[in-house]
A and B are shown apart, each in its own frame.
Chain A
Amino acid sequence: MSLRTAKIISLLVTIAGAIVLLQGATFSWLGNQQGYEPVQPIAFSHKVHAGDNQIQCLYCHSAAEKSKVAGIPAASTCMNCHSQIRKDSPEIQKITQALADNKPIEWVRVHHLPDHARFDHSRHVSAGLKCQQCHGAIETMERVSQFETLSMGMCVTCHRTHREVTLDENGKPVISREATPKRLMASTDCSVCHH
């Protein structure tokens, strides 16, 4: 085997492997999972619930306005409606079964921040941000896909532009203690997210 042949074989193996592994929906670069759309154990459709039926996001993700996490609804929350509606659907049957077996449903996490980054849903929801700003048009998604990059650049860009503060003649922000609670103050201190 000549060197040339070896090089060609090596290249072909690499390309073939890449084609196998780079499967659109499941592929994502390390650290940035934009477009990540994993298959979930139950074919839950946000389009049907949040889009067609106009159920409020906070009905299921009730922790979003008081906690760091938005929370995935408990199986019992699903049954609030589904004990009456579409009881016979095979997907709903999975939930009924889970409750019967006392075995929780293992959803696949779509949006994931690294362990050294902290994000608090409650602050953003209370400040009036729409869920769609970070999560995209979730009410149109049959299966949830990651809309934003969720990178530090994305967070910081928003934090920089959403500082509703007046500037003094030197261009420095004028911040007074009395005024702050009413204002949307997005800090860019590292420790706001990293601690």
Chain B
Amino acid sequence: MSGEKLWKKFQQQDADDAPQLIQLESARMPRAGVSRRTFIEMIGFSAAALTFTSCRAPEQKIIPYLKQPVEFTPGVASWFASTCGGCSAGCGVLVKVRDGRPIKIEGNPEHPLNAGGLCAVAHGMVFGLYDSDRVRQPLIASKPATWADVDRQIIDILAATQKTGEKVRVLTGTITSPTSREAIAKFLSQFKDGKHVVYEAVSTAAIREAHARTYKTPAIPQYRFDKAKLVVSFGADFLGTWIAPTQFTRGYSTARDLREGSHEMSRHVQFESLMSLTGSNADARVRVSPSEEIDALLLLAKLVSSEGTAAVAAVDDSRISSRVREAVQQTANELLKLHGESLVISGSNDIDAQCVVNAINQALGNYGKTLDLNATSQQNEGADQEMVELVREMNAGEVGGLIVSGVNPAYDYYASEDFSNALAKVPLKISLNPTRDETSALVDFICPQHHFLEAWDDAQPVRGVISLNQPTIAPLFQTRAYQESLLRWSGDGRPFYDVLRQSWKEKLFTQQKTHATFDEFWDHSLQDGFAVLQTQSSEQPSFVADQMGKSVERLGARSADHASKLTALLYEKIGLRDGTHANNPWLHELPDPISKITWDNYACVSPKLAEKFELEEGTIVRISNSETTIELPAHIQPGQHDDCVAIALGYGRTSAGKAGTGIGVNAYPLVRFDNGTFQYQATGIKLEKTAARVQLASTQLHQTLGGRPLIKEFTLDDYLKKHTAGEYPKESKSIWKDYQYGEHKWAMVVDLNVCVGCSACILSCQAENNVPVVGKDEVRRQREMHWIRLDRYTLGSDDNTTVEYQPVMCNQCDNASCESVCPVLATVHSSEGLNMQVYNRCVGTRYCENNCPYKVRRFNWFENQHADPISNLALNPDVTVRSRGVMEKCTFCVQRIEEAKIHARNEGRNIRDGEIQTACQQSCPAHAITFGDLVDADSRVGKLKHDERDYILLEEVNLRPQISYLAKVRNTEEVEA
């Protein structure tokens, strides 16, 4: 009605104005000849006609090599085994190099640590290589310089320092590379007082210190999650961020895999305050307050150490609530039944807490079985005490030269201002960091190092497993390996490659017996990406309990002091981790698996705490203690304890680059240094509500399943009693004719039981399929482009929250609802069961997206930016870059299917089962995804389709998808719903 009125009004208005307009027009019009209007029309016609006649494709150049490199074919990808430099975990990777540029990182299936799995950060590393914010040449006082100049000036100053005998310090992150450590040692040996300080922003130093106390072995043991039948974790996020999450996830899911006839799975109990990825996967998650966590740990120690120490027997367990007491009691009973087959860990960076954990594992006989002190881990080796000491020395003016490499304490040190002030007192400040970060901004010389994909290096994340890191591209910028810089400043001008080879020849070649000549050993190691050395297995060191009494006493006092006070818990997010890679938009846009929020950090509060402070999702809260105040939005997180606020570290960078500067709030000022280590919690904080509120960029607004059986779950008992999830294929009537598949029928099975929700698949897919980043604002409008959506559902009550994950990508339905509504046949069925998406046909009606019940189609609302020529190098040339107005979605990595088909046909054979791995499948640390051909009677995917746990998502709509899920099994008595 109103529309009609509106039109009438316009018509009336136009009619009224017409004579007047004509009059006005005629007054201006020349009396004879061509009006200006007509003249412009004519010129316009000529111009348009000329433009069309001159239309032709632009001239393109082909630039071949001058000299053809051996064993290199244009258009064919080469794969190089290397080591990931994303964190200190040292996972083995395979780098895909197409036409000279690395475009994808995948897990090395043969690597003994990660066995083909990778985390989200590792996938993001390709984008990090092509970061145009990297420092492109050495800088002296922020001005571009040449390496020769830099070397001359630095060597002069260092020579003067040698004479004065002042302290020289090299400050780095964890370096597991023996050769690099030698280089650092060689550099430092020229000075009277030279020392290498290892600093980690998010440290696990307490574990090393505790082992130094209780076993006289200052090391992090090797945790064997694959051997543990019962894992009890006190707040350790070992599947997400703790020490070496990919390696741990691999072990954990191996022990919990129920496919192919296995009937045993390990059990996992988690005591924690915030909702972590690991906690969300636990069979039993016990929600405790931060002080209760200590109490529970002490109580467990008391209960399991039958012969134990007097110290533990004196534990005061009066504060502990009956619910938690019962849980600890039950856990203790279970643990005592599994001598040497359990694993107790704690995520705390408190030495006393770790000592108690050691005592528990000792009492349970786990050392030498699930914990190995022979093949110890060298991952995350930060020495907190030494770092604090360094800042003190700098402040006292004792340090004559500081060389920073790979760390950024001006941002992530708990007292970053102290560090910056102290740094100003150091006469020679050199940064070897690759970017102009907060620390580099304060130094005299920036000598940028290579990205790990450009550099030679080795790594020994775990004793006995030594990996090689080889360059996969010539350095993009005028950068230099940091080891080379240090060696050059100590008078050794060799390239680091020569140093590495020589070191391997002298040190490692002699430790192995497989290869007769060094060249053979080197070539094999380089091809495999790693070498396994024989380590002398000695006796596990014996337990020293002499300091236990004090530890227990201190812990008890701390717990009493912290009881029912509001505590800020500082944690790392899966994507951004400690903030080192903050300039990587892929990692920012990766939804956190628990909160589903992108591009921000926030204060997680429990629903009850939110109610108490009248907080809504996104309300800005002010969190303060005596040292600092930060303001950030609140996020209501079910399953979190009411006594804590959880805040992610790694955000709030002030000098990260285009993508990372100014995202979120820096929570590092809340970290404390206490009792010799950094503590990632602040007790007694004040929480205040402010009037402001923001909309967080969340990709999932629903928490619950809404009563639908989207995720099926059994208890282990129920499953073993032969309960089935569904039948495949289920006979049902359809108005569509069935497809006849001749050659192939591609299908996928996702095992929800081993999937832990780590989100690595999302980024692997993003890297493989040129999925664009859209930014915070577009995510708020629900326009994120990830082809895999990791659905997260929260079930249960406050004290008993369980979380379920379900990766959902295009289900490639037989009766696809998208295909029947496309007016231009841009989405059609292939002869191999895929729903093809033909980008060049798509006109963007979005009917398919609206008709898809799985909501897995993504629409390009804008021309996504591909303006940066350097970051464009990360694009996969086998996948079309989609333009504005085009629908896109998962196609089971059809480019990989086509490539494998061509390869097989050229060789005149069938495709082998497992030959094609989709990007998400390849990188899954849990091996949760299986892909294959249903026409092949022996395929693994075909067998899994007949698993009793197999079911189809939204089976009732009868779309007959090619993806099915294996129901989750919880190793618990009953499933809470």
Contact = CB atoms under 8 A, between A and B. Distances in A.
B879 A6 contact: no
Interface stretch (A51-59, A81-89, A119-127, A130-138): A119-127
B42 interface: yes
B61 A107 contact: yes
B40 to A, nearest CB: 11
A146 to B, nearest CB: 11
B839 A194 contact: yes
A57 to B, nearest CB: 16
B836 A194 contact: yes
Contacts of A17: 46, 49-50, 53-54
Contact of B34 (A1, A99, A117, A123): A1
Contacts of B46: 10, 13-14, 17
B840 A116 contact: yes
B910 A75 contact: no
B38 A123 contact: no
B717 interface: no
Given A18-B50, A122-B902, A180 B743 contact: yes
B891 A195 contact: yes
A38 to B, nearest CB: 7
B43 interface: yes
Interface in B199-228: none
A173 B73 CA distance: 36
Contact of B66 (A2, A31, A102, A118): A102
B1 interface: no
B796 interface: no
Interface in B790-842: 828, 830-832, 834, 836, 838-841
Interface string A63-85: 10011110111111100000000
Given A71-B73, A74-B65, A191 B830 contact: yes
A108 B56 CA distance: 15
Given A3-B34, A181-B908, A189-B830, A109 B62 contact: yes
A108 B68 contact: no
B881 A115 contact: yes
Contacts of A102: 66
Nearest to A13: B46
In this complex, the interface size class of chain A, counting residues with CB under 8 Å from chain B, is 35 or more
Nearest to A126: B906
A163 to B, nearest CB: 11
B536 interface: no
A156 interface: no
A1 to B, nearest CB: 5
Nearest to A180: B743
B62 A63 contact: no
Nearest to B893: A195
Contact of B43 (A1, A10, A109, A192): A10
Interface string B45-76: 11001100111110111111111100001111
Given A13-B46, A28-B57, A181-B904, A192 B839 contact: no
B74 A63 contact: yes
A72 B62 contact: yes
Most chain B beta-carbon contacts within 10 A, residue among A106, A112, A181, A187: A181
A191 B894 contact: yes
A176 interface: yes
A22 interface: yes
B709 interface: no
14 contacts: A3-B33, A6-B38, A38-B59, A67-B74, A75-B64, A99-B66, A99-B67, A104-B64, A115-B881, A116-B880, A177-B743, A189-B830, A190-B841, A191-B894
Interface of A: 1-3, 5-7, 9-10, 13-14, 17-18, 21-22, 26-31, 33, 38, 62-63, 66-69, 71-77, 98-99, 102-109, 112, 114-118, 120, 122-123, 126-127, 172-178, 180-182, 185, 187, 189-192, 194-195
Given A13-B46, A76-B67, A115-B880, 4 more contacts: A13-B50, A74-B66, A105-B64, A191-B838
| 4 closest cross-chain pairs (CB), A and B | A175-B742, A67-B75, A74-B68, A69-B75
